[in-house]
Structure 1
């Protein structure tokens, strides 16, 4: 890629728009090259001219490297923004846009710097003030291309065992990939013997079956299944209290009357044939 240097001197500006109300402006400029080129773009800022008002002076030198082919195809633009330095926020005064191809055409085969002036355009689109600068192009030279891809992203790094573009982990090794651990030994034929001191297995007939055939006999005072037998409670007389006492008194009186009647009958009849005549 063929390139050449562009040496600029941002000299001064005059008759700029005053964007301050109560004090003189402190003015500086920002210089850059915009466009479609393969070289890394950069910005340069001039010193701030204090209390300069509408006529700042800088004489600030700056150098760029431009792609000659892009400049010849009118794809590069020199941009100079002039701003007022303010404590409550900087404010743009105006801007100058110059095609690099235009500078090349004016410069031609010259060896000395060229002095030019360009009109300053305010943010509202009006022309107010001028910018003075000088420039000079260097000889062509070959530089390696520097491709820039703003949308390029670093390739993701996958851990071992993962496949790129796959959502399923393949990190598990195939069966048999790892040797068995040292303590994993197959059991001996017939299984492991019981440890020393263990209880012997129960022998058939050593213990009675549970429960014994026919079940356990019920215990005294308990019913079927071991639960207590129900107790019959005596029924209470429906008549209690004074009524019961009256009933007892009545029964005694009736018995006494019957006995008395029997004795009276016996006295009235006397003895008949030596005995009672009933």
Structure 2
């Protein structure tokens, strides 16, 4: 749970508690009026549970202040938009998530990405992407729309060849060795990486294992122009649009990029990983 998210949830709980007190109700009385358990009322007021928009509407009506429902929902939306849980995002499968990301790609001109453990999505082959989506479907027990998600990801890659777009990718060398797919699939994926080196819309840097690092190579993230950062974690994505956060992640990207190898040096690192597979 991010600190910003938890602070926002605590603030919402404080506001709920104020409204209950203004309505002259105890926690037990409010729970009885709503047909909820008292523990639910307590958890919402202390920020230990995230309310739904329906919960907030019912609360506002139960304390005799229905006009506060829009304010409460606005508070909830403000921190929902920053932290997008995979449980909620994947309720309808991976394809809608891919469509949402495609809209951000279409809006953006210059995109920067850092990946520490996987090949960046925009450079994945269809077979590699299929194994990635399958792993996350199993993890999150989400609808199994793998083929639809793969098609959406591959279709988005058409923008790699669109004049006016610029993609700046850096990956840790570990992404070239992570065996999340069979060796033959990984071999084709590494060949794909070699093939994009020199593309005029793409710069691909690899941070070697032995490189001197000023920061640890942690979570993957994307920077869309200078307006949005999307950070991936196991439980959620963080969508950050505050200027100070965007600037922070830009500094992180530039720091990691200083350790990256490009051009012929990057090609040699990819070739080394390709030979390690032992496949034709």
TM-score by length of 1: 0.17
Structure number with bigger Rg: 1
Bigger helix share? 2
Structure richer in strand, relative to its length: 1
